Structure 1
Amino acid sequence: MKSYKTLWLVTLMIISGNVWSYGSSSSAKACDKPKFSEFSPVSNAEVAPKSAFSFIASANTNPDSIIVTVKNQPVEVTVTPKNQSFLVTGTLPDTIKKDFARISIAADGPNQCKGTDGWLVKIIE
């Protein structure tokens, strides 16, 4: 009789262990971060102060959340829908001269996922 109880106990432990190991797919929300591409001017390009720049933000980007900074200075940008994505354009500050500057991007996507990216340009005078 004891061997049957032990056999049942072991069987129940194996079955319950397998069930709990898979979990629920709906309980884990995937993070779909915004992505950025087609940077213009290209990385490490030499540009003048007040030059225009642009990039594409993926379709899952909240356009109202896009923040662009150049050397930690906020830059005003224009966001335009373009083929299931967003074209973002702006102008480099005229206060940065003869220096490298990183154009930094941050934006929110679905499920409060934050995407960041950027590229470097050389500002000449």
Structure 2
Amino acid sequence: MSLFLCATFAMGVMGPAKQAYLHESIPSEQRATVVSFDSLVGNAGGFVSQGGLGYLARIRGLADGYVLGGVATVLVLPILGLLRSRGDAADYIAGRECGVQSPSAGQGLPEAGLVDAVKRQPVEA
């Protein structure tokens, strides 16, 4: 169970980092198309892999389903290594300041994400 929670936490951390990477490395003219295609591939892959691994787990056992899922994940690591070796600007942290205003989540908080912390005033009837 703890391994499952760690994997879920890692996926939660990976999402914003991946989005920041895409937004930083893709030109704005192509960004919507690339982000939409990324979502399409991710959702289709999740649909197929969850169904396939569930079927394998039912036929062969839960352990075999986890092993195949782990093997598939490990096979992707060389691709990630090749992408990292390109040395794109999005691979590096731009600054050390936390919470600076920026249009990219990888650079700080976008202005739209800021919360007005003024206490609500009572409504007059």
- Greater per-residue helix proportion: 2
State TM-score, norm by structure 2: 0.19
Structure showing greater Rg: 1
State TM-score, norm by structure 1: 0.19
- Greater per-residue strand proportion: 1
